[in-house]
Amino acid sequence: MRSFAEVDSLIGTVPAGVVTRLSVVDAGRGAEAFYADQLPGLLRELADAARVESVITSSAIEGIVVEQARAERIVRGADQRLRVRNEKELAGYRDALDYLFHDRPGDLSVGLVIYLHRLLFGRTGGGGGQFKTVDNLVVDRHPDGTSSVRFVPTSHQDTPFFMSELVDRYRAEQGSGRHHRALLVGLFALDFLTIHPFVDGNGRLSRLLSTRLLSEVGYGVGRYVSLEGLIYERRDAYYDALAASTVGWQDGSHDPWPWLSFFVEVIAHAYETFAARAADHRSGVTKQDRVRNYVLNHAGTSFEMADVRRAVPGVSDQTVRLVLRELKDEGLVRPSGVGRGTRWVHVGQ
Q: What is the pLDDT of residue 281?
A: 78
CB-count exposure of residue 161 (10 Å: 0-12, 13-18, 19+): exposed
- Given a cut of 70, whether residue 325 has pLDDT beyond it is yes
* Residue that wins the pLDDT comparison between 69 and 155: 155
pLDDT digits (tens, 9 = 90+) for 70-100: 999 999 999 889 999 999 999 999 999 999 9
Q: Which of 17-31, 183-197, 267-281 has the lowest average pLDDT?
A: 267-281
Average pLDDT estimate for 238-253: 92
Q: What is the pLDDT of residue 227?
A: 97
pLDDT digits (tens, 9 = 90+) for 164-174: 999 999 999 99
Question: Would you place residue 241 in the very low, low, confident or very high pLDDT band (cuts 50, 70, 90)?
Answer: very high
238 close to 259: Cβ distance less than 8 angstroms: no
The CATH classification of domain 2-283, taken from the options 1.10.10.10, 2.60.120.380, 1.10.3290.10, 2.40.50.100: 1.10.3290.10
Distances (CA, A) of 215 to 113, 187, 209, 293, 328: 16, 16, 10, 30, 41
- Given a cut of 70, whether residue 334 has pLDDT beyond it is yes
Distance CA 96, CA 186 (A): 20
194 close to 211: Cβ distance less than 8 angstroms: no
Q: Fill in the DSSP letter of residue 249.
A: G
Q: What is the pLDDT of residue 5?
A: 87
Average pLDDT estimate for 20-41: 88
197 close to 110: Cβ distance less than 8 angstroms: no
Entry pTM: 0.87
Averaged pLDDT score across all residues of the chain: 91
Q: What is the pLDDT of residue 31?
A: 86
Average pLDDT estimate for 50-70: 93
Architecture of domain 287-346: Orthogonal Bundle (1.10)
- Given a cut of 90, whether residue 299 has pLDDT beyond it is no
- Given a cut of 90, whether residue 349 has pLDDT beyond it is no
Q: Fill in the DSSP letter of residue 347.
A: T
Q: Of the candidates 290, 292, 289, which has an alpha carbon nearest to the alpha carbon of residue 327?
A: 292
**What are the residue boundaries of the structural domains of the chain, listed by start?**
2-283, 287-346
